[in-house]
Amino acid sequence: MPARSFTAERRRLTALRLTALGLGEPSASSPTAAVRHLLALQAQDYAGTLWALAVRTPGATSAAVESAFGTGAIVRSWPFRSTLHVVEAAELGWMLSLTADREFARTAGRHRELGLESADFDRAERIAREVLAESRRERRDLLAAFAERGLDVSGQRGAHLLVRLAQLGVAVLCGQNTWTLLDAHVPAPRRLGREAALAELARRYLRAHGPATDRDLAWWSGLTLTEARAAIATVDDEFDRLELDGVVYRMRPGLEEAAAGIHLLPGFDEYLLGYGDRSAPLAGRPLTDIVPGGNGMFLATIVAGGEIVGTWRRTVRARGVDIALTPWRPLSAATRRGIDRAAARYAEHLGVPLTALS
């Protein structure tokens, strides 16, 4: 087979990923089904999380996604890279079993700096179990309960106490700032031994993100490269291999390239954040175009034919939503029409009129 140019390689890779990630032809039957397919997706930007699920679920609104949180079908926690993710509630336990110890070790130094000791975490757990057994609580109320019982939550101490409770599998977020006990929220969690959990992680990640590499899986999960490779080896016969530009990728059998389309994606979407190597959709542009100042805050992106061609932002007002575009190059008439449709879908998701698109 003749060698493809960089552009052809990139376009094939991004077209396959758009399909795998449920973006090429959105078809999830519900927001929960979209989460189930992706296994986990970054969720520190709550409004962006609602859109990331709605854009994969035909007709879904932000209210429908929030309802899935409210019923307990999906939750937010910190299973990977000490980063907030949304996951299917019943699946969270086995993910935490793979990563919690590593995350505890990674944050030990910061905890010492904050003066947080084992006794503080134990105390926070006792208080949380007591308070949350009564009812769900907002973040501020849970932190207030800690303080009322003599636990210092000043500075970043409170945030670290809450994250540790989540990584221990004690509590979870069942909305934007609402906390509940995990075992009360999920009476029948799925339980897997470590080997089975590693295999399931590799299987689910590659099904939803492939074409992807072992290094992508290691970065995404926070596992070592050795662990990621061992996990993939246990399920390797379930996947097709694809070699592009000298790199070996794995993907689910029968995956087809998405047709060229236009997408307005949230800033932390898996299309960019789901991989250690993000060069394909950026097409040679620096990541700083998406993360100005390298502050970890990813801008929402305009994607045309698999390529990120600019950024966008929304402003919600009483009368509707305004969308402002920042394209990196002149956009064709066809691309503008696609953006018009994507913007209308975004407004529909919010349940408000699209009042401006500029």
> Is 302 part of any domain?
yes
User: pTM to 2 decimals?
Assistant: 0.93
**Structural domains in the chain (count):** 1
Please tell me the distance from the alpha carbon of residue 134 to that of residue 17, in angstroms, as a whole number.
Answer: 44
55 occurs within a structural domain: no
Residue 298, domain member (yes or no): yes
Say if 266 falls within a structural domain: yes
Which pLDDT tens digit goes with each residue over 94-140? 999 999 988 899 999 999 999 999 999 999 999 999 999 999 999 99
- How is residue 261 annotated by DSSP? -
Q: Alpha-carbon distance 51 to 301, whole Å?
A: 12
> Is residue 171, in this structure, part of any structural domain at all?
no
User: What is the DSSP secondary structure assignment for residue 332, as one 8-state letter?
Assistant: P
Whole-number pLDDT of residue 294? 76
- Residue 324 lies inside a defined structural domain of this protein: yes
Across the 358 residues of the chain, what is the mean pLDDT of every consecutive 10-residue run? 55 95 95 97 96 97 94 94 95 95 91 95 97 95 97 96 96 95 88 96 98 97 96 97 92 94 96 94 91 87 96 95 96 96 97 95
Closest CA to 65 of 43, 96, 90, 95: 43
26 assigned to some structural domain: no
Q: 133: burial class by Cβ within 10 Å (0-12, 13-18, 19+)? A: exposed
Q: Is residue 226 part of a domain?
A: no
Hey, what are 32's tokens? Answer: 């929960």
> Domain containing 276: what range?
262-357
